[in-house]
Structure 1
Amino acid sequence: MSEHRRKFLVVADQSEECRTALYFAAKRAQATDCGLTLLAVIEPSNFDHWIGVSETMRREAEEEATELLDMLAEDAEAVMGERPELILREDELRNAMADLIEEDSKISILVLGAAESGEGPGPLVTALARGRGLTGTRPIPVTVVPGGLSRDAIDDLT
């Protein structure tokens, strides 16, 4: 990947809407000769008073996040023809995302998937809708992809 190319950022999780957002971002990255960055975040545990339990939980969460990143990277690579950049951070999700956007000036678009279930669109989309900044002090465009969008529909859009 060229050092000077813009990058799309997708936050990795186990949700179906993440996969939809990833497919959209991979198609857009391919069509516009951009890169793609996948961010997985391990949120700090609340078991600090039980250090052994906390460390075990952190290690398991790191293994799961690494497996998830690898799986999603394979999906993106199948679309783009190149492996995306993979980043794993331990922090609160919004802080990790904002810090990464601040640190990497090549990240130019955040792509989020909106859940279609009755439980709401998801925490990041909800925060965005409520006017809470997601990108720190460096504002970038945010694309919200409906979770129920089919691959055929995404192909038509991209």
Structure 2
Amino acid sequence: MPNRTRKFLVVADESPEARTALYFAARRAVKTGAKVTVLAAYEPSDFNHWIGVAETAKRESEAAAETLLESMAEDVEAVTGERPELLLREGERSQVLSELLCEDPEISLLILGASRSSEGPGPLVSALARGKGLFSERNVPVTVVPGDMPCEEIDALT
């Protein structure tokens, strides 16, 4: 079997639990020699009536996702000393994630942060728990990190 780079994938969003998952991924990557990959997805605009408005909305969504990715890259670099792989895709988050998992055989672990909100653990963790649509052709192990887990506890685990 050829020697492949193992990647730990984290899905970027503005939630605190995404940052917790990112920290966990970075710490595990340092200990295991894996690389961190961060995926940000932005959804296309529903403005079909005015093309100019739709293009502006798309550019703004893309710029916000790029800013988020850069911020998360800095967090990973602070832990690992290396720049993570950053992926920016247009589309619905769970669909983009499913497609990426099929495309990239080097992704060996998906790391998600679970919200402690009364509204549920978050859309991806909920979809995973229901068995809906995260994996189609290729199964990947998933680590779900409690979103409010302190860094000290993560450090003790990794």
Report deviation, 1:45.
1.6
Question: TM-score with structure 2 length normalisation?
Answer: 0.95
Aligned to 2:15: 15
Aligned to 2:93: 93
Aligned to 1:43: 43
Within-5 A mapping of 1:87-126: 87-126=87-126
Q: 1-side partners of 2:136 and 2:145: how far apart?
A: 21
Report deviation, 1:136.
2.6
Q: Which runs of 5+ in 2 are unaligned?
A: none
Aligned to 2:57: 57
The alignment of Structure 1 onto Structure 2 pairs a total of residues equal to: 156
Q: 2-side partners of 1:143 and 1:48: how far apart?
A: 39
Q: Which runs of 5+ in 1 are unaligned?
A: none
Q: 2-side partners of 1:44 and 1:98: how far apart?
A: 17
Report deviation, 1:48.
1.7
**Residues 41, 90 of structure 2: 8 Å contact kept:** yes
Q: Percent identity?
A: 60
Post-superposition, which runs of at least 4 consecutive aligned residues in structure 1 deviate over 3 A?
none
Q: 139-148 or 40-49: which moved more? A: 40-49
Q: 2-side partners of 1:135 and 1:47: how far apart?
A: 30
Within-5 A mapping of 1:66-85: 66-85=66-85
Q: Does 1:152 align with 2:155?
A: no
Q: 2-side partners of 1:77 and 1:137: how far apart?
A: 32
Q: What CA RMSD, in Å, does the superposition of the two structures yield over aligned residues? A: 1.1
Question: TM-score with structure 1 length normalisation?
Answer: 0.95
Report deviation, 1:133.
3.3
- Secondary structure, counterpart of 2:58 in structure 1: helix
- Secondary structure, counterpart of 2:124 in structure 1: helix
